[in-house]
C-alpha cells in the first residue's frame, strides 16, 4: 500500500475533512491508478467506456493456446495463441499474441499476429504487427512498419 503513504502529505493539508472522506478519496485514486495501468495499451479511454475499463481484463498468457470461442463484454488481452472466434468489447493482441480466426470487437489493438476476418469499430495496428484477412472497421490507425494484407472495408 505504498500509494497510501505517497498520498499522505497531500491529504494532511485537508485536515478539516473527516477521516472517512479521506479514505474514500484514497480508494478512488487507487482504483483510477489500477484501471489506467491495466488499460494503458488501449488507445482510447474516454469517460463513456470507463465503466467497462474498470472491470479486470481477461488474459490469455504467453505460451497458452486456446481453441474455441471466447465471448466477453470486457477487455481481453491475448499474449498467447487463440484459434477460433472471439467476441469482446476491447481486444489487445500483444506482441507475442497470435490469433487465428474470426474477431469481433469495438476496440482492437494489434501488436502481434492476426489471421482471419475482423469486424471492429476502432482498429489500431502496431509497428510490429502482422495482419492478414478481411477487415471491416470504422476508424483505423496503422503505425509505420505494421504489415497488413487483405480486404479493407470502411463502415
Partner 1 sequence: MAEVNQQGCLFVGEGVVLKGNFEVPDIASISGTVEGELTAKQVLIEATGTVRGKLTGESIDIRGEVNEYVSSSRSLIIRSTGKVTGSINYSEIEIEKGGHLHGDLHNLNPHS
* Binding residues for partner 1 (CB under 8 A): 139-154
Grid coordinates belonging to 75:
477487455
Report the nearest approach of partner 1 to the CB of residue 100 (Å).
17
DSSP at 1: -
Nearer to partner 1, 66 or 139 (CB): 139
Report the nearest approach of partner 1 to the CB of residue 130 (Å).
9
Number of Cβ within 10 Å of residue 101's Cβ equals 19
Nearer to partner 1, 66 or 152 (CB): 152
Distance (Å, whole) CA 118 – CA 121: 10
Q: Which residue has the cell 478481411?
A: 134
Nearer to partner 1, 24 or 143 (CB): 143
Nearer to partner 1, 50 or 141 (CB): 141
Nearer to partner 1, 26 or 113 (CB): 113
Report the nearest approach of partner 1 to the CB of residue 19 (Å).
46
Q: Tell which residue, 90, 98, 93, has the closest CA to residue 56.
A: 90
**Contact (Cβ atoms closer than 8 angstroms) between residue 128 and residue 113:** no
Report the nearest approach of partner 1 to the CB of residue 103 (Å).
17
80 beta partners: none
Report the nearest approach of partner 1 to the CB of residue 132 (Å).
9
Distance (Å, whole) CA 95 – CA 113: 8
Amino acid at each position: 500500500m505504498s500509494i497510501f503513504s505517497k498520498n499522505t502529505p497531500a491529504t494532511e493539508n485537508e485536515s478539516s475533512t473527516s477521516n472517512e472522506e479521506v479514505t474514500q478519496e484514497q480508494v478512488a485514486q487507487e482504483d483510477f491508478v489500477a484501471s489506467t495501468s491495466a488499460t494503458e495499451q488501449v488507445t482510447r479511454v474516454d469517460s463513456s467506456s470507463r465503466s467497462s475499463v474498470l472491470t479486470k481484463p481477461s488474459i490469455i498468457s504467453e505460451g497458452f493456446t486456446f481453441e474455441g470461442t471466447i465471448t466477453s463484454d470486457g477487455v481481453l488481452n491475448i499474449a498467447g495463441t487463440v484459434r477460433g472466434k472471439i467476441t469482446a468489447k476491447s481486444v489487445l493482441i500483444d506482441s507475442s499474441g497470435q490469433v487465428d480466426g474470426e474477431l469481433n470487437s469495438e476496440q482492437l489493438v494489434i501488436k502481434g499476429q492476426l489471421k482471419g476476418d475482423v469486424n471492429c469499430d476502432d482498429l489500431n495496428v502496431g509497428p510490429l504487427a502482422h495482419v492478414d484477412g478481411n477487415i471491416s472497421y470504422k476508424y483505423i490507425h496503422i503505425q509505420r512498419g505494421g504489415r497488413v494484407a487483405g480486404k479493407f472495408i470502411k463502415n
